[in-house]
Structure 1
Amino acid sequence: MRSIRLAVRSDGEIIVSAAKSVPVFIIERFVTQKQAWIEAQREKMRTRVRVAPVPSASEYKQYKQVALELVKERVAHFSAIYGFVPKRVSVGNARTRWGSCSRKGALMFSYRIVFLSAELRDYLIVHELCHLKEFNHSAKFWLLVAQTIEDWKVLRKQLRMG
């Protein structure tokens, strides 16, 4: 590791990583220099709207079932339009991403998708479905998405803002 890495967790805690060879005073100076950035990140965390409450085990099971039904229905709808059929569709407890598409053609979505608007859900589903054809974020990929989700840029921005 040549550089010092700095991250701010959602609870505001600072995580600093550096090679053992980096002197402590250098790390401390780095953190001091990044104080404004750290405070800006903490403010983002404070004002960020939580999309989903932390569910109990039984609630999680219910959310997951509802999410799976919603997702499967919309995947079938958009698969008919695009002609792309995933090998498998599942719902899990992914914390860092809304959905994913494997190279083997499996689509996975976070159960938290149930807390989103229908528009955002459709955007996510189409996004992952289009990866079956274009496994990247190239211009071709976004043209595919735009075939059914014209305002994908706005929706993408909404998701990223939390």
Structure 2
Amino acid sequence: MKKIRKKKQNKYHLLQNVFYIYRQEFRWYPKQKTVLPLKILLELILPVLTTVLPAVAVNSITASKGIPYFLCAIGLLILTCTILGCLYEYADQWINKNHSWCRCHEFTEELVNKVLTMDYPYIEELDKQILTEKSARAIASNWVGIEL
């Protein structure tokens, strides 16, 4: 009778990897602790403001307050949306830049330091060699993110 092999369970799952990545990014780039919540907040506020724009236009027309009031209300709302949109784009680009740099540089540097400080790789256990090769392949073929 054949023995049934149990499939090896992964020790880590995607959510743990994502938390690890962001914990490392916050350690390397402390400013990201404030930029990331700002970006999330702006992602919530901007659609609401752009939805309010037609309501403000209709309200100012039906209130019979005149053209200057209408232009001022619409102009202020559009100016606010533009400024918040620029702030959102800045935060998004900053986060993407640091996330890419973290993926391409910081983890590669950690891997190189680990390999250089490790004892002779051919004397090390096979498990450690396989783990090192897997981490090198994960970083080298990383086009989505190291957390995947």
TM-score range, shorter chain: under 0.3
Q: TM-score, normalised by structure 2?
A: 0.22
Q: Whose strand proportion is higher, 1 or 2?
A: 1
Q: Which has the higher contact order (CA 8 A, sep 6+)?
A: 2
- Structure ID, larger Rg: 2
